[in-house]
Amino acid sequence: MALVACGREGYAPPNLTDKDVHLTVLHTSDIHSRVLSYRLVPARTDRELGLDGDGPFGGIARIASILRDERAKADRVLYVDSGDLFQGAPIFNVFQGEVEARALSNLQIDAYVLGNHDFDNGGLILSRQLAWFSSYPVLAANYIPMNDSRRETSEELRRILQPYTIFNVRGLRVGVIGLANTSSLNSLAEGGNSLGYNASEQNETLQRYINLIKDRVDLVMALTHIGLTEDEHLVGGYYRSDEIKGVNPTSQETIIERKWIEGVRGLDVIMGGHHHVVLNPPKNLLDPDDRDVLLVHSGAFAKFVGRADLVVRNGEIVSHRFNAIGVTNTIKEDPDMLRMLEPYIFGLNQQIDTTRIFAFAPFLVPRFGRGTGDSSLGNLVSESMQVRRRVEADFALTNSLGIRTDLQPGPVSLEQFYEIFPFENTVTTLFVSGKEVQELLDFVTERSTGRGCQSQAQIAGMSFVMNCGANPPRADLICIGANRNPRCTADTPANTVCYDPLATEGKRTCLWGEPVEPFSSYKLAANDYIANGGSGFRVLQRNTTQRNTGVSLRDALVEYIEGLPDCNKWLLTVDEERKKEGRSPLTDEEKEKLVPTQYRTLPCILGAEDGRIRRRL
């Protein structure tokens, strides 16, 4: 009877004044369709957080078990997710988000904020999956619907989205305000976008809703998918520099006014996502009133479930504790969730043979460079685009973030390539002048400079230096061509620098190809996303020679790898190199550890950074 009375309308909530109230917030973010467990070599940062072992890792069935156990150990509990549930594994390509939306409902999630990749199949499909399969509040306070009947976005999405929700957690009233992504959804800033939404400024939006609900709640939470820096800006404020006031008649330079956007007041905690990081410990931020605001990020790809334990007294967080719970193979999979997934797994295997092994990687092939601007996997991807039949370009360029994950060591299946290329991007060819090549690489350098001079593009058939230290940043020493320069030989004069483009003395000569000529024409292979202006590549968007080949980036890479030498030949090469160095050949045990016998006739994926992109800081 007491339990019934607690849930009845008009029941008086407990008096929590001057009491320490414990609230547990369980948090995930950027699951990216990893509803099934997968193979992974944990990075050093993952291992430091406790994600270790042989795997497989992740999977929604293990997350279900973690949530069940953590709820049982907690007093008051909320479970929230910071967006990007969709896109990243082949199950999304087949079922278009249905599995993920159902899974969150089965996890009994309390609130979800939209991420940019939730729109990857368009607003219509997103709204359909949420309408049919979600049973939870979907938040986006900073999305403003456009009153335009020509927009494709379903009215259903407008009915589903809400700016905030309020929970009464055994007397503790928690208001949750959602801030969805705008920085990666560039079209939101453009009038006439097909999503049918515009975006409002995040700080002003958040402050408006805090003011609206602050007298009705004890704790205010921002659930965000805007990124780590933007989360910090919510509290600390930032300069906005996008208000163009005109052109200086003397210098012809655009005059841009920098406007200070103040941090919000009245916020208690931010549960954030988008940048795939784990903050352990969480950050403590100071708002304009010198109040502490807790910032929590819990990682990505279903690798961790964050648990933030808060002690709240009179509407203030007086202490907190955080733990990132690794989703490892030591956690049993929830049988109810497995039953829900079973028909989808069967349907996936019917449509895509994800288990076929067609190559072997003795080592990890990373998507990000370890020293130079290029990366091992980026070089493979761009080379596969450049030399593909029906493409055969002078050079190739693709955006680094379009390559979504590393190629894991061991036997390589098609499933891994859906994780590397979850998007259905294709190769587009364009003819560009040398002057446009300079403009294109200047743009790449400028974008890379804002990201620690980590290259935002991967290339083949060319080389250049990202001069991130220049003002403004620019691309230097651009060379195009796949043939070795005959002037760069063992007899090259000492004053000719062929091997180090960062050298500051002597005559520089391209090691491969020739210096780019401003008025020459070059054939470029790019992915269709950046060719259409994605990620700010406007120099390609305005090009009128575009031709979409229809060749999938995923298929191009698979075909390229299938043409590589097998692992037997690679092992022979290793022995020959060791012999030249005066070392003994590999033992049978060492060979078996590098490449097990059953995989030695398969193509061998090695990959390497070769300095085709160099950095000057």
CATH code of the region 357-566+602-616: 3.90.780.10
Measure the CA–CA gap between 545 and 431, rounded to whole angstroms: 6
Residue 85 and residue 116 in contact, taking contact as beta carbons nearer than 8 Å: no
What pLDDT, on the 0 to 100 scale, is given for residue 151? 55
Q: What pLDDT, on a 0 to 100 scale, did the predictor assign at position 494? A: 55
Is 16-346 a CATH 3.60.21.10 domain? yes
CB 310, CB 80: distance < 8 Å: no
What are the two backbone dihedrals, phi and then psi, of residue 117, each rounded to the nearest 5 degrees?
Answer: -75, -10
In the chain, where are the structural domains located? 16-346, 357-566+602-616
Q: Is 26 exposed, middle or buried (0-12, 13-18, 19+ CB in 10 A)?
A: buried
Q: How many helices (H) and strands (E) does the chain have?
A: 18, 30
Please list the ranges in the chain whose pLDDT falls under 70: 1-12, 147-154, 184-194, 242-256, 484, 486-487, 489-508
CA-based torsion, 444, 445, 449, 451: positive or negative: positive
Q: Return the SS3 of 170.
A: coil
Query: At 260, which amino acid appears?
Result: W
pLDDT digits (tens, 9 = 90+) for 307-338: 999 999 999 999 999 999 999 999 999 999 99
Strands 426-433 and 521-527: what pairing?
A: antiparallel
Distance, in Å, from the CA atom of 261 to the CA atom of 529, rounded to the nearest integer, reads 32
Instruction: Answer whether 605's CB lies under 8 Å from 359's CB.
Output: yes
Q: pTM of this prediction?
A: 0.79
Same fold, 16-346 and 357-566+602-616: no
Q: What is the pLDDT of residue 99?
A: 97
Please give the backbone phi and psi of residue 491, each rounded to the nearest 5 degrees, phi first. -95, 15
Q: What is the pLDDT of residue 609?
A: 87
Backbone angles phi, psi at 82, to 5 degrees: -100, 30
**For residue 548, what are the β-bridge partners?**
428
CA neighbor of 29 nearest in space, from 92, 89, 87, 82: 82
SS3 state at 462: strand
Mind listing the pLDDT tens digit for each residue in 167-194? Answer: 999 999 999 999 999 876 655 555 445 6
**pLDDT attached to residue 390:** 85
Q: How far apart are CA 138 and CA 83, in angstroms?
A: 10
Strands, DSSP E only, in 109-251? Answer: 111-113, 138-139, 143-145, 161-162, 164-169, 172-179, 197-199, 219-224, 238-247
